[in-house]
Structure 1
Amino acid sequence: MLPASTGNLSTSLRKFYANNCKIKGRIPNEVGNISSLLDLDLSGNNLVASIPTSIGNLRDLQRFNLSSNKLTRFIGDHICKLHYLSAIYLGQNQLSGPLPNCLGNVTSLREIHLGSNKLSSNIPPSIGNLQDLVVLDLSPNNMVGTLPPEIGNLKAATLIDLSMNRFSNGIPREIGGLQTLVHLSLRHKKLQGSIPDSTSNMVGLEFLDLSDNNISGTIPMSLEKLQNLKYFNVSVNKLFNVPPSSKHRSNRKKLLLSFLLLGITLLFGPATVVFVWIKYRRGNRAPQQEDSFSAMTQERISYYELLQATDALSESNLIGSGSFGSVYKGNLRSGTAIAVKVFNLQLDAAFRSFDTECDVLRSFRHRNLALRL
């Protein structure tokens, strides 16, 4: 364990690294005496109990990493005293309690990593003050309430993961102001309402996951403007299909395709393996892209090849799971990147979920998406 004498270290010490050292026990309060610290890293140990409030005495602290421990209590308002803090890494602990309302006062913050804990309460509206924040990761936790509209003020954010919490109500339309956002995950919540049309303004999006919610209505056709989008998941919601117009059907032939959705009705034990989201890798043969893709879509993919591509559906290839199945990444022998969804046929709702996903995707018109059944 860290001795209390740790606090007697030189007052000129700038960086203190004791990560992955199998340290057990509590963090001594005396650590707050090292007033000159800029970087504190005690990650990957077996530290327990609360984070000492004396951390708030480290007024010059810029980076704070206590991730992958067994800590149980968040530092609370004391963290708001760290006016130069740029990164918090407290993920993979057992932290409980609320996020402090004053968190937005630490305007120097660039990264907040608090995933895989037991944090409760809501997201304080003051978080909108963190206009230089790049990463916000609160997944998974036990957070409740609504998503504050102030989240739209995080103009510099590139990754926001709020999945697997207990947020309710709708997605604020202000979220459309996040034009630099690349990754947004709001899956497995209790979100209601519709997908705001302002989402189409998030032109930097490559990853958008709204699955496992209670979102209703239709997918806004304006989302076709998201030309960088590579992953889009709205499964297990209450969305319904709107038949595309004849104009939309004719335009589909002109769209540049890089994803393919295929259905495979092979029965294996309690599961059915279904091909979803096949990414067509663009090479240097741009003029031949359309012909090559057409040939690939006619190819039959065997169940054995799917197993090979995903390393027998290994846990290391698992990229997501929901109420009715799991999704695994893989690569075909041709080099094509794929995702394979395995439905649990022991659940009657799994059949309805598959039908719903097909209907929803059929109504979505995007240059990177196509449906082939």
Structure 2
Amino acid sequence: MTSLPNELGNLTSLTTLNISGYSSLTSLPNELGNLTSLTTLNISGCSSLTLLPNELGNLTSLTTLNISGCSSMTSLLNELGNLTSLTTLDISECSSMTSLPNELGNLTSLTTLEMWGCSSMTSLPNELGNLTSLTTLDVNECSSLTLLPNELANLTSLTTLEMWGCSSMTSLPNELGNITSLTTLNISGCSSLTSLPNELGNLTSLTTLNMWRCSSLTSLPNELGNLTSLTTLNIGGCSSMTSLPNELGNITSLTTLIISGCSSLTLLPNELGNLTSLTTLIMWRCSSLTSLPNELGNLTSLTTLDVSECSSMTSLPNEVGNLTSLTKFDISYCSSLISLPNEVGNLTSLTKFDINDSSSLTSLPNELGNLTSLTTLNISGCSSLTSLPNELGNLTSLTTLNM
């Protein structure tokens, strides 16, 4: 179907119109502007549609407008600024769209703006700062977007800001620190981002901060230590990061910390031992990390510890034996690790222990026989291991043994 009949404009009682997925549709009739009872309009996936009729600006009862996947559309109408009842606008995957009209700033009822995958979008209008009801802004995979307007600081209702894969963005405005309602901030895949503003330390309501694969980021601001509501911090894949601020030890609400793939990181701050609420610590593929701080032994709530592929790590601290809540422990592919501390035998809650391909490991401590909750033990590829302790025969809960 390439067009819709003009007579659709006579359906003046219509509240919902769904014409999604018509990839051959090239235009919409002006008469759609007569459907003033419409509250929901879905034209997603109309990939041949290049423009919308100005008359859509008459649909002042509209609360939801979905234009996602209209990949041939290069711009939106100024008249969309008349849709003052709109609460949700989705223009995701409009990959040819290069800009948004300033008039979008009139949509002060808007709570959700989805525009992920608008890969040709180079900037956002300052007027978006007028959307003070907005709670969710998603600009994921807007790979040509180089900056955010300072005026976003006015979005005092915003709780979620998603900007994953904005690979051309080189900096964030200091004004982001004013959005104190934010609970989730995702800047993963912003591979050109070299630093973060200190003002991010003002986001004291933040519970989740994701910075996965920010490969040009060399350090974190000390002020992140002020984020005392944070429960999840993900800085995996930050391959240029050489150190972490001591102040991270102040974030005692953290339950999950992921610093995997930080291949330039050579040491961890001792202050991480203050994170006593931590249940998951993942540090795999930190290939320059040579040791763990003894203070990690204070993390007595930890249930998962993954330091696999830390190829420069030569030993584990004896204090690892204090982690008696640990159920999963992975030290696979730690090719420089030559021994395990006897204290590993204290981890009596451990159900899975992965030691695969730790090729320099010459022996296992007899104390492994104390791990009576263990159901899975993986020790395949440990090519320097010449014998196993007899005490492994005590592991009567073991259901899987890979050698």
Query: Which TM-score applies when normalising by structure 2?
Result: 0.60
Matched, 1:122 2:123: yes
2:28 corresponding residue in structure 1: 28
Instruction: Give distance in 2, aligned partners of 1:181 and 1:91.
Output: 22
Corresponding position: 1:301 with 2:334: no
CA contact (8 A) 1:170 1:191 kept: yes
Partners of 1:53 and 1:75 within 8 A in 2: no
Aligned position for 1:256? 277
Q: What are the residue-to-residue correspondences of 1:70-219 with 2, within 5 Å?
A: 70-165=71-166, 167-189=168-190, 190-209=192-211, 211-212=213-214, 214-219=216-221
Q: State the SS of the aligned residue for 1:7.
A: helix
**Other-structure match for 1:57:** 58
How far off is 1:62 after superposition? 1.6
User: CA-to-partner distance for each residue in 1:169-190, whole Å, 9 max, x for gaps?
Assistant: 5322321232332322223333
Residue of structure 1 in register with 2:255 after alignment: none
Aligned residues: 287
Q: For 1:208, give the aligned amino acid.
A: N
Deviations 1:133-165 (A, max 9, x none): 011112212443432222222121122122323
The runs of 4+ residues in structure 1 deviating greater than 6 Å are 245-248
Give me the whole-angstrom Cα distance separating, in 2, the residues matched to 1:207 and 1:242: 15
In the alignment, the residues of structure 1 paired with residue 204 and residue 74 of structure 2 have an alpha-carbon distance, to the nearest angstrom, of 35
Contact 1:51 1:71 (8 Å CA) reproduced: no
Q: Which amino acid aligns with 1:86?
A: T
The structure whose residues are more often strand, as a share, is: 1
Match of 1:292 among 306, 313, 325: 325
Moved more, 257-266 or 66-75: 257-266
Higher relative contact order (CA 8 A, sep 6+): 1
Structure 1 unpaired stretches of 5+: 267-278, 282-288, 305-332, 335-373
Structure 1 pair 121–242 and aligned structure 2 pair: CA distance change class (3 A): closer
Higher CA-based Rg: 2
**Separation in 2, partners of 1:258, 1:185:** 21
Moved more, 108-117 or 3-12: 3-12
Q: Which structure 2 residues correspond to residues 290-329 of structure 1 after superposition, within 5 A? A: 291-293=324-326, 296=329, 300-301=353-354
More helix by share: 1
Displacement after TM superposition at 1:91 (Å): 1.4
Query: Gaps spanning 5+ residues in structure 2: where?
Result: 251-268, 288-301, 305-321, 331-343, 345-351, 358-373, 376-403
> SS state of the match for residue 184, structure 1?
strand
What RMSD in Å do the two structures reach over aligned CA positions?
A: 3.7
In structure 2, what is the Cα distance between the partners aligned to 1:39 and 1:243? Answer: 48
TM-score (norm 1): 0.64
Q: Distance in 1 between matches of 2:144 and 2:128?
A: 15
Q: Identity of aligned pairs, percent?
A: 18
- What SS does structure 2 have at the residue aligned with 1:118? coil
